Amino acid sequence: MKRISFLGMLFLGSIAACTPVTAKVFLRVEASPLPPADKTGIRDVVLLWPLRDLSVAAKLHSQGYRVFLQCESKDLAAAVATADRRAVTGMIVTNTAPSSQSPAAEQLRAYFAAHKSLTFRMLVPGGKQPQMKGRLVVERDGVLQVSSPSSQPWLDTNLALVRLAQATDPDSLPIIYDFHWYTSEALPDAWHPDAEAYRVAIAEADAIRSDVTIDLPGSLQRALVADDPRAWKLWKAVMPYLDFSSHAAKERMLPVVNLGVIVDDAQANYEAINLMARHNLAFESVRPSSLTLARLSSWNSVAVFCPLSKEAVALLRDFAASGGIVIFVNTHDEFPWHSTPPLRQESRATVYSVGAGQVVELAEPVVDPENFARDLRRLIGRERAALALWNSLTTLVTGYRQQSRPNITLYLVNYSNQPDSVQVQVQGRFTRVRLESPEERCCVSLPFVERGGFTEFTIPALRITARVRLDSAREAPPHRRKKG
């Protein structure tokens, strides 16, 4: 699994990532003609290195595109040296080679610093085409159905992949993720992917607030150049989403979270964290070494997937004592709260009361990530959830808070390609709730109610994506993280 190995490298190699200010959509194209940028609505294009024809970058640049080259880290120096520096805006670096053959993270960082005229992105490979999936595995001579009590749709989402990649230092390198389109079910005479697939991919990157590279199939690229009306019909259905994505807030924002995830082995715990994302648990992940009092002050619940130092355990004890919930996964360690008898002993979990809070210890790793995520959601409860959706099984929501004001922007993505009524609950009080979407643009005021410190409203028919701006009359309090 490329994704897993790369995540492992991210953590082990300390190639750090930060949340980008904007989520840009890069289109990876063939090194061949493309209609001008003002016609396609595309701003950033990616060409794979090596290029057979070096003039392609200049041609695309002259058509209004920002051109990026994608290369492996071992080829980076050659690519930078050879590329037309006037035509190329930046480099997307993949780092999938065994660590002994790839430049160390510090070397890359130094290299990037030495080439300030170029923009660099580290590629997080192994993303999945964002989509809602059913359960059928189709064989040529029949269907094998593995039945289970499940009725819920499965969402392939890149949220956890990106959150884990971002779980590092603040002075890190910007990341970008990509994926490959599923092509298996394409009808021979149909464009694949269809416009809906592009729209969901663009919407997801917007919600994750991460740059993404999306492949533009060569057949579509050539058809656009040839002015094929069917190709343009498809692309014109995509363009409003590109435009909508490009109009997201530009200022740096902080994710709205209430759950901290402490993890050092992304590979072992990926699926559990993926399901937490899938269930709209508003979380951020940190490495154990990054756990500080300031970090904890942003959360009301913590899930721990790795051993901790005594200092970190003491922080979590105080966190629980002041009302927090802490869940340790696969732990057999001795903890200070073991000096008192547990509150409850379940078959797989031991629950301790610690001050005003609670510590839950699971003696096993997560064997059923879906069930774990649902359990976690129940344990945290609605009263602690920073964000919650009702009856929206195919929608993901992320929230971001402005640094300068307590205003919040929610980003919603519906993966089902079926308009859905989405009920939303956000912690906090707001004076105005406004919806914008590629279809509605800015802005439609939504009626809302305030209940017990939460603001609740309904998006009547979420098509694929929407942003909801919640304005607060209050000034932003000093950011707590900066205290610690």
Partner 1 sequence: MRWLKSVALPSLTLAMLPLPAILGSPQNRSFVHQQRYAMGTVFEIVIYDEDLPRAEAAARAALDEVVRLDGMMSNYKPESDLSRMNRTAHFQPVRIPRELYEVIEESLFYSRHSDGQFDISVGPVVDLWKAALAGGPLPTAADQASALRCVGYQKIELTPPDGIQFHSDCMRLDLGAIGKGYAVDRTAEILNASGIHRAYIDAGGSTMYALGAPPGGNAWRVRLRDPSRKLGPEVMLSNNSVSTSEQSAPSSLQGDAPGHIIVPGTGKPLQTRYAISVTAPSATASDALSTTLLLLGPTKGAALVKALHNVSAMWIASDGQRTIVGDGVSFFLTGETHPIHVSPLKDRIAATSKTATELLP
Tell me the closest approach of the beta carbon of residue 230 to partner 1, in angstroms. 16
Beta partners for residue 395, in sequence order: 414
In the structure encoding, which two tokens stand for residue 12, read together? 């082990």
* Total residues in contact with partner 1, by rule CB under 8 A: 67
**Would you count residue 160 as binding partner 1 (CB under 8 A)?**
no
Site residues for partner 1, 317-346, by CB under 8 A, read 327, 344, 346
Closest CA to 397 of 384, 387, 406, 405: 387
Q: Is 431 in the site for partner 1 (CB under 8 A)?
A: no
The bridge status of strand 357-362 relative to strand 349-354 is antiparallel
The encoded tokens of residue 237 equal 């259905």
Q: Which residues pair with 401 in a beta bridge?
A: 254, 408
Per-residue contact track with partner 1, 19 to 58, x per CB under 8 A? Answer: ----------------------------------------
- The residue from 86, 98, 134, 311 that contacts partner 1 (CB under 8 A) is 134
**418 lies in the binding site for partner 1 (CB under 8 A):** yes
Stretch that binds partner 1, among 41-49, 86-94, 186-194, 476-484 (CB under 8 A): 186-194
HSE of 62 in the Cβ direction (CA atoms, 13 Å)?
Answer: 7
Residues in CB range of 377: below 8 A, 6 or more apart: 279, 281, 385
Footprint (CB under 8 A) of partner 1, residues 362-401:
362, 367-372, 374-382, 385, 390-391, 393-394
Contact 177, 24 (CB under 8 A): no
Nearer to partner 1, 242 or 262 (CB): 262
For residue 218, state whether it binds partner 1 (rule: CB under 8 A).
no
Tell me: does residue 143 bind partner 1 (CB under 8 A): yes
Task: Find the shortest distance in angstroms from Cβ 53 to partner 1.
Answer: 30
Run of H or E including 320: helix 310-321
User: How far apart are CB 157 and partner 1 at their closest, in Å?
Assistant: 12
Among 476, 352, 301, 466, which Cα is nearest to 402's?
476
Q: At closest approach, how far in Å is the CB of 438 from partner 1?
A: 20
Contact flag: residue 146 with partner 1 (CB under 8 A): yes
Residue pair 3/126 in contact (Cβ under 8 Å)? The answer is yes
Stretch that binds partner 1, among 35-43, 49-57, 359-367, 465-473 (CB under 8 A): 359-367
Residue number, 172 or 274, with CB nearest to partner 1: 274
Shortest approach of partner 1 to residue 384 CB, angstroms? 9
Q: Report angle CA 260, 407, 468 to the nearest 5 degrees.
A: 90
The closest of 128, 159, 164 to 7, measured between CA atoms, is 164
The closest alpha carbon to 212, from 67, 61, 44, belongs to 44
> Which residues lie closer than 8 Å to 356 by C-beta, 6 or more apart?
321, 322, 323
Tell which positions 235-274 bind partner 1, by CB under 8 A: 271
| Site residues, partner 1 (CB under 8 A) | 132-154, 156, 182-188, 192, 271, 275, 327, 344, 346-349, 360, 362, 367-372, 374-382, 385, 390-391, 393-394, 416-418, 420-421
